[in-house]
Each structure stands twice: as C-alpha cells, then as structure tokens.
Amino acid sequence: MNIQLESMAIEMPVVERHPNREAFRGVLTLVDVISDRPPAGAKGHRVVLTRTAAEQGLASLLGMALDYAPSLDRHDTRRKVGVITRAEIVGKKLELRGHLFAKDFPEIVREIGKSGRALDASATRTAHLGMSYEITEARVADARASIWTLTRVTFTGAAILRRDKAAYGETWIEME
C-alpha cells in the first residue's frame, strides 16, 4: 500500500484553555476523485480536483477562514467561525486542522460535537456534517467536458455544511 503525504501548517502559540479556540479536524475534499454532486460555482458540473492542483494550492489554505450558514446547506463567507492552521494530503484525502471561535460561535461547536465521531464497522463516517472548499483562480482543463478537471486552484477558505449538501459526501468535521 502506497500512502502519499503532503503537509503544511502554521504554528499557533499555545494558550492554555483559551476560551475562543476549540480545535477541529476533518476531511475537506478528495483529490483525483469525481465529486458526488456539482459544487457551487461549477455551473452544474461535477468536478475532479487533481492532486497536482491540490498540492500546489495547499499553502493557500493556511490562515484561511472556516465559515458556515446557520441552515448548514450552503457557504456563507461572511460568517467566519474558525481558522485553518494545517492542511495535508493523505492518500486521496485533503485533511484540515484548525480551531473554531468557540466563545463567539458556541452553536457551531455544539452542532459539530453533536455530529460526533460515529463510525461503522467499515470506518465510514456516519456523522451528518461535512466540509466544502472555496476557491478562486481555478483552471479547468476543458470547460466543455461534462466533468470539469481542476488543474489549478487558489483556496480562499472552507465551509461547514451538511454532508448531503457537500460536493463530496465523504467529507467530515469533528472536534479534537
């Protein structure tokens, strides 16, 4: 079994029991895998984020915000509830770590906590929350193709939403 790992992180100073920092981790997206649903902004096209595009864009995730809409069915880039401090590609998963602003947004911390770490026997996440990336400056190999292949992206953030609304149903988020 070959496992490839690309990783980047920014180090935040340790502040014991900081009331506004609650650590999270999760899977933002899959690389070299066709999305289950068209992401917002893809004009109805399902997409494939290439490993090369993800690797080249990895640094652009660091320090970006994590947002959410109270309905958990879309992105809301004006509701910043956390920050991404680590991004790495493990196999086909683009994994994130960071912290949520727990004192400012206790409702999303509770919702993620409620979502929990439920795993079945095959280690498939059964929790109801996932994540979705936000990008700009995307390059599509062939805009006429039914499935768009993203060959370059700049990440501008990520969103927490219900997994049934995420482009990739295998994404997840949990508190650490």
Q: How confident is the model at residue 2 (pLDDT cuts 50, 70, 90)?
A: low
Q: Tell me the CATH class for 19-175.
A: alpha beta
**Is the CB of residue 145 less than 8 Å from the CB of residue 42?**
no
The pTM for the full model equals 0.88
Q: Quickly state the pLDDT bin for 121 (edges 50, 70, 90).
A: very low
DSSP string, the chain: ----EEEEE-PPPP-TT-TT-EEEEEEEEESSSB-SSPPTTSTT-EEEE-HHHHHHHHHHHTT-EEEE-TTSSS--TT-EEEEEEEEEEETTEEEEEEEE-TTT-HHHHHHHHHHTT-B-TT--B--SEEEEEEEEEEEES-TTSSEEEEEEEEEEEEEEEEGGGSSSTT-EEEE-
pLDDT at 65 over 90: yes
Residue 127, pLDDT score: 76
Q: How far apart are the first and last CA of the chain?
A: 27
pLDDT category at 4 given cuts 50, 70, 90 is low
Q: What is the mean pLDDT of the chain?
A: 90
pLDDT exceeds cutoff 60 at 118: no
Q: Which two tokens stand for residue 20?
A: 């506004």
Interatomic CA distance for residues 41 and 149, integer angstroms: 14
Q: pLDDT by residue (tens digit) across 70-84?
A: 999 999 999 999 999
Residue 175's pLDDT is what?
Answer: 93
- More confident of the two residues 40 and 160: 160
Q: What is the pLDDT of residues 25-41, one digit of tens each?
A: 999 999 999 999 999 88
Q: Which residues pair with 9 in a beta bridge?
A: 86
Residues 135, 167 contacting (CB under 8 angstroms): no
Domain ranges of the chain: 19-175
